[in-house]
Structure 1
Amino acid sequence: MGFSVSGSTVVILIGCLIAFSAAFTVATDSFDRITTAQDERADHLLDQQNTAIEINDVQRDNETVTVTVTNTDSTTLAIDRTDLLVDGEYRNETPTIRTGTNDELREGTNLWIPGDRLEYEIESNGDRVKIITQNGVVGSATLTEES
């Protein structure tokens, strides 16, 4: 009778040790994932705080709308992740990129560097324009008739 109690106690203790090691591994992995997600969220919020755009000019000439928008803060943005809406309708237009200092065209890149301007030319009769960046910063304007 003495060995069976001791043997079963050892089996239970080994089972508890294995269960604890499995639970510890899962808890550590979960904590690492939560920490990584919090770090990524903090990075995203910092990028959002360091992003600002300014719609410089919005004009309509007959049925062509011209929109000029400048990246005015310190975050470099991706052009293909910047959305253009005209009267709430998504427009898949490729803008012209002009450098901020000498107004020359820059081609073959997807980067919208601070100080650079995007110029969109769109066929539309819409009245409102909205530009949305990759991290949620929005600029909007109402169209004016060009004289």
Structure 2
Amino acid sequence: MGFSVSGSAVIVFIGVMVAAGIAVPSMVGSFGSLTGAHGNQVDRGVDALNTGISIETATYDGEPDEFTIDLKNVGSTTLGVEETSVLVDGTIPPSSDVTTDVEGDQTAGLWLPGDTLTVTVERVDTEPDRAKIVAENGIAETASGSEIVIL
């Protein structure tokens, strides 16, 4: 081989090494992010499997136009009170019309396993046909029809 062929081969080899030196750290970072995202997805799945809520009572009182729902956390996951949503007949009521308390504590931010969360929705003008509670991780429970007690 002449010098030009050997020199060209060295230049190409150095170029490949520089390109690999640039590409490998990016790929390692991407694989690390992908692994972290997969771990987060697994954690969310485990939380969803360990979440259980049960509607104990759903009562509509037409005199003060209040709809009260008592829920029990029957799973093993601690849930956030603020992250728990209520829908009445498919509509999310204004937050100013919704009050919550956990075991009588209106300032509680966490809903521990075994605790009862009471959600009271004010200004419900008509008898509700359906109520749905959705936990922060998407687990939901619904009361409808005869499950709702009308006072």
C-alpha distance in 2 between matches for 1:94 and 1:6 = 80
**Residues 101 and 107 in structure 2, CA contact (< 8 A), matched pair in contact too:** no
1:118 matches 2:117? yes
**Residues 50 and 76 in structure 2, CA contact (< 8 A), matched pair in contact too:** yes
> What whole-Å deviation, never above 9, does each CA across 1:14-50 have from its counterpart, x for those lacking one?
1001112222222222221221111111110100000
- Picking from 72, 76, 79, the partner of 2:78 is 76
C-alpha root-mean-square deviation of aligned residues, in Å? 1.6
Q: Within 5 A, what are the aligned runs for 1:1-147?
A: 2-62=2-62, 63-91=65-93, 92=95, 93-98=98-103, 105-122=104-121, 123-124=123-124, 125=126, 126-142=128-144, 143-146=148-151
**Residues 47 and 137 in structure 2, CA contact (< 8 A), matched pair in contact too:** yes
Count of residue correspondences:
140
> What whole-Å deviation, never above 9, does each CA across 1:77-104 have from its counterpart, x for those lacking one?
1111110000010123231111xxxxxx
Gaps of 5+ in 1: 99-104
| 1:107, distance to aligned residue in structure 2 (A) | 4.2
> Which one-letter code corresponds to 2:23 in the other structure?
A
TM-score if structure 1 supplies the norm length?
A: 0.87
SS of structure 1 residue aligned to 2:87: strand
> Which one-letter code corresponds to 2:37 in the other structure?
A
Gaps of 5+ in 2: none
> Which one-letter code corresponds to 2:79 in the other structure?
L
